[in-house]
Amino acid sequence: MSPLQKVAAILLCTILLLMVLASIFVPAPYARQFRDIPNAGPSTAHPLGTDALGRDSLSRLLYGTRVSLLLAPGASLLSTIIAALLGSAAGLIGGWFERIVLALTDLSLALPWLFLLLTVRAMLPLDVPPMVSVVIAFLMMGLLGWQSAVRVICAATRGIRDSDFLLLARSTGCQPARLLLRHVAPNLRPLFYVQFWISIPLFILTEANLSILGLGVMEPMPSWGNLLRGFENFSALAANPLRLVPLILLVLVVMCFQLVLPSQEVTQ
C-alpha cells in the first residue's frame, strides 16, 4: 500500500468513525431550527454555522454523511451483484442468451430513469416514514443502476471464456453454475470491486440530483444530496464559505475510494 493510499484509507476510516459516532459530536439535533440565527457563520455553538432555517450545519453534515455513506454502498452492492450475475452469465454462455441480456441492457439504458424514479416516488404511499422512503429510494437506485456494469463484466467474461483453465474445467465435466462461481467469479473479482467502488459516488450523486429536484431524502432528514442544495443560495455561500464542506467531503470520499481501489487489484 502506497503512502497516498494509506492516507486515503485513514481519511475514509476517520469519516466512517465520525459518521458512526455522530450522535456524540453533534452540537444540536439535526432538525432543530434556531430561528434567530439563520445562515449564521461559524461560532462556538455552531462550528460550521447554520443553514437557511437556522439548523446546525455540523449536525446535519454528520447525520447526512451517515445516510449517504450507509445507503450508497448498499445500493452499489445490489447493482454490482445484479450486474455480476447477468454479465458473467451472458459472457460465459454467449450466443442467444448473451444477445438477449445485452439487448435488454441497451433497452434499459435508453429508458429515462430519472422520470421512472419520479414516477416510482409518486406511486409510493404518502404515510411512509422518512427513513423507509430513503431506503426505498436507494433500493430503487440499486435495482436500476446495473446496466453499464453488465456490459463491462460481460466483455471481461467473454475474454476468459476460451481460456485454458476454463477449457480444462469444462473437460472435467464442471457444471455451468460451478464454472461461474468457482472459476469465472474469482477471476473477475477485481472488476467487481471496481464496479462496486465506482458506483458508490455515482449513487451519492444520483441521490444529490434527486434531492436538488426535491425528490431525494425527505426533510428534515439530511443527506449529502440535500445539503448540496444549499449551494443554490450563492450569497449565503459567499457569507459562509464553510458551507462548501459537504462538497469537499463528497469529493474527498470519492477520491479516497478511488485511491484505495488499486490495492484491491493488487491483492488479487
Partner 1 sequence: MRQAWIFLTLILVLGLPAAVRAETARQSGGELHFCLHGEPKTFNPLLVEEDASETIRYLTGGVLIRLNRQTQALEPGLAVSWKVSQEGRRISFHLRSGLRFSDGTPFTAEDVAYTLKALMDPQLHSPTGDSFRSGEGQVDVQIPSAAAVVVTFPAPVAGLERLFDQVAILSAHSPKKEMAVLGPFYVADYSPGSSVLLHRNPNYWKKDKEGKPLPYLDSIRLDIQRNRDIELLRFRRGEIQLINALDSESFDSLQKEMPAVAHDAGPGLDSEQMWFNQVPSAPLSEYKKNWFRTTEFRKAISMAINRADLCRIVFGGHAHPAVGPVSPANQFWFNSSLPVPAYDASGALRLLAQVGFRLEGGALHDSSGNRVEFTVITNAGNKSREQMATMIQQDLSSIGIKVNLVTLDFPSLIERITRTYDYEACLLGLVNTDLDPNSQMNVWLSSAENHQWNPKESKPATAWEAELDRLMRSQASAISDKKRKADWDKVQQIVAEQQPFIYLVNKDAMSAISSAVVGSSPSVLDPHAFWNAELLRLGGDLALGAQK
CB of 81 to partner 1, least distance (A): 30
- Of the two residues 41 and 220, which places its CB atom closer to partner 1 in the complex? 220
Contacts of 210 (CB under 8 A, 6+ apart): 117, 137, 216, 225
- Under the binding rule (CB under 8 A), the answer on residue 170 touching partner 1 is no
> Stretches 4-12, 51-59, 75-83, 187-195: which one binds partner 1 (CB under 8 A)?
51-59
| Alpha carbons 257 and 68: distance in angstroms, whole number | 14
Instruction: Provide the 8-state DSSP code for 229.
Output: G
Restricting to residues 15-34, which ones interact with partner 1 according to CB under 8 A? 31-33
Cα dihedral 244→249→250→256 (10° resolution):
150
Partnered with residue 50 across adjacent β-strands are 56
Return the number of the residue (37 or 205) whose C-beta is nearest partner 1.
Answer: 37
* Residue 77 CB, nearest approach to partner 1 (Å): 27
Distance of closest approach, residue 122 Cβ to partner 1, in angstroms: 4
**CA-to-CA distance for 130 and 268, rounded, in angstroms?**
40
241 binds partner 1 (CB under 8 A): no
CA–CA separation, 64 vs 39, rounded Å?
Answer: 18
Interface ranges with partner 1 (CB under 8 A): 31-33, 35, 38, 52-54, 118-119, 121-122, 126-127, 129-130, 133, 213-215, 218-220, 229, 232-235
